[in-house]
Structure 1
Amino acid sequence: MSTPLQHITVLLDEAVEALAVRADGVYVDCTFGRGGHSRLILSRLGPEGRLIAFDKDPLAIAEAGRIDDPRLTIVHAGFETLADELDRLGVERVDGVLMDLGVSSPQIDDAQRGFSFRFDAPLDMRMDTTRGQTAADWLNSASEDDIRRVIREYGEERFAASIARAIVQNRADGTLLHTTRELAALCARCVRTREPGQDPATRTFQAIRIFINRELDELEAVLPQAAARLLPAGRLVVIAFHSLEDRIVKQFMRAASSPPELPRGMPIRAADLPQPPLALLGKPVREGSERLAANPRARSAIMRVASRNNVRWGPST
């Protein structure tokens, strides 16, 4: 019998506290995962409360199906469909939106998903295994320029050009990539130097996973949807796990919480400027040292929180 894949929810209490859950509120968990945040939110809701949870992973949807609670609605879709799904469910506004980004430990530790170079497995990397192109399909058909761009931009890999060239050359010689170990071995040959303790394939695997799942595109799409659907004083809570995600979140929250810039010399006081849609709440939060010892994968997690001001904003407000 195989051991169940374990998952430690990152910033569990901190994220739910940041949502400021009201007993009769309506909340969205954009990434159900294995349900850690969702279960804690449900425990704080009263009979009139409601939680809508999204996930692309069929295994996450199956886990959500084990929760017998009429207050929970589970949506098998990427969170970039947030506005459309809320419309479908007849929900105009919500009291809070939580996003726990990235890939979960069960997904990484499940060899057959192809997210990790630690196992020899099919080179899949899809969050939603029921649809879309696998990593192997893409690598065995994409141009050298496209492969180089993805690995450089999403993985910040200095040796992206060498890796892309090797993939395309192998393809020309009749050698296609089918498994994680094959890609990891190719990266090991091409990456000449690496930070201490980091595998040569780390950045390439991250980059391909982000691309295959459109992770950054979806994040950029959902942030304005989520913020526009918040009720006044509603909370937007986002946990990011690498710099590319966090940069998007930080820039969005900063822009949405800044008053408009006006030409110099205009006779307008700062107090007279229109109120921005969001207000930043507190400083970014990281996982505590004790819990990092039990879950080292949380070391890069950073949580940012914003609150909706009482202003009209966006085409859907």
Structure 2
Amino acid sequence: MYHESVMLNECLDGLNIRPDGVYVDVTFGGGGHSKAILARLGEKGKLLAFDQDPDAQQNAKLIDDKRFTFIEANFRYIKKYLRLYGIKQVDGILADFGISSHQIDEPTRGFSTRFDGDLDMRMNQKAEVSAFTVINKYPEDQLHKIFGMYGEIKNAKTLASAICSARMNAPIQTTGELKTILEKYAPKFKEFRYFAQVFQAIRIEVNQELEVIQEFLEQTPELLRDTESRLCIMTFHSLEDRLVKNYIKTGNFYGEPQKDIVYGTITKPLDAVSRKPIEASQEELARNNRSRSAKLRIATLSE
């Protein structure tokens, strides 16, 4: 199985689908969410899906539906590409920031801590910067910053120094070679979590994930058609969720409300549909381990 869509029904309900509406799935992946959206659309409805991953492109070819358009691009360019297709506003936007189980389980992609594979981790296989570049070419202070900020690693400085020392002898080529270094610095009995944090930090840097999310979010208010249109975003770690939460709450990424100088009113483009994020049901948690860290936030245009 390619990938089980997390909180599928919650996402569909959150989108509040109009049969004749125009919707965007910015993270197509295995196509689970897209197929479910198409099933709820009428003849006049439209769905556009974004993904830059070659596997996702192959999955998209399996959908033979005139209402469906696949866009081979990063969703940070959502507005530009929608304009190319003559679309200025939409009725709903769905984003699932989770990495697919297929990508994790494919050793050659280098995402997994469980398999030995090349240090790659590129969502876009044409991108110049890979995990190999980060581990072997980045200066020590930059590695320190990445591990600390994106992986929230406690001994980030020590680890960065150890990697720089190791690569002086020979390049670090594989995830297995990297893990051999990490083993010496991982807290006892928490090795797997430590590996996951380091891999997450490298992956975020390789794919510029947080910058992409920020650029995407800033474009969403002008793309939503009206106050009935919905923005549904699912995150899988605190760094992503903080950006989404702050932007919905305040219109910026710092979480500080911006007040109008003259009138003292708070100006923000979006309103949260519910104060707290939606989380997976007990039934889904039992069935799909990946859903345990998922948070779904839904927003509409401010009135």
Q: What's the TM-score, normalizing by structure 2?
A: 0.93
Q: Is the 8 A contact 2:146 2:202 kept in 1?
A: yes
- Pair 171,49 (structure 1): closer, same or farther in 2 beyond 3 Å: same
Describe the shift of the 1:260–1:199 C-alpha distance in structure 2 as closer, same or farther (beyond 3 A).
closer
Show the 5 A alignment for 1:2-151: 5-151=1-147
2:240 match: secondary structure: helix
Query: If you compute each CA radius of gyration, which structure gives the higher value, 1 or 2?
Result: 1
Counterpart contact for 1:237–1:306, Cα < 8 Å:
yes
Q: 2:210 aligns with which of 209, 216, 233?
A: 216
Over 4 Å off, 4+ runs? 257-260, 273-276
**1:282-303 CA-partner distances (Å, limit 9, x unpaired):** 2310011111112112100000
Name 2:179's counterpart in structure 1: 184
Match of 2:233 in 1: 238
Q: Which residue in the other structure is 1:307 paired with?
A: 300
Kindly, what percent of the aligned residue pairs are identical?
40
- SS of aligned partner of 1:14: helix
Question: TM-score normalised to the size of structure 1?
Answer: 0.89
Q: Deviations over 1:228-249 (max 9, x none)?
A: 2101121010000000000000
CA RMSD in angstroms, aligned pairs only: 2.0
Matching of residue 291 in structure 1 with residue 289 in structure 2: no
For residues 46 and 80 of structure 1, the distance between their equivalents in structure 2, rounded to whole angstroms, comes to: 28
The count of aligned residue pairs is: 298
Shift of 1:191: 2.2
Q: Report the alpha carbon displacement of residue 161 of structure 1 after superposing the two structures with TM.
A: 1.2
CA distance in 1, matches of 2:183, 2:266: 54
Aligned partners of 2:153 and 2:189: how far apart in 1?
10
Cα deviation, residue 102, structure 1: 2.7
Gaps of at least 5 residues in structure 1 are: 311-317
Residues 256 and 171 (structure 1), Cα distance of their counterparts in 2 relative to 1, 3 Å cut:
closer
Q: Which runs of 5+ in 2 are unaligned?
A: none
Asked whether the equivalents of residues 251 and 267 of structure 2 are also in contact (C-alpha less than 8 Å), the reply is no
How many Å separate the matches in 2 of 1:73 and 1:149? 39
SS at match of 2:177: helix
Q: Aligned equivalents of 1:285 and 1:132: distance in 2?
A: 36
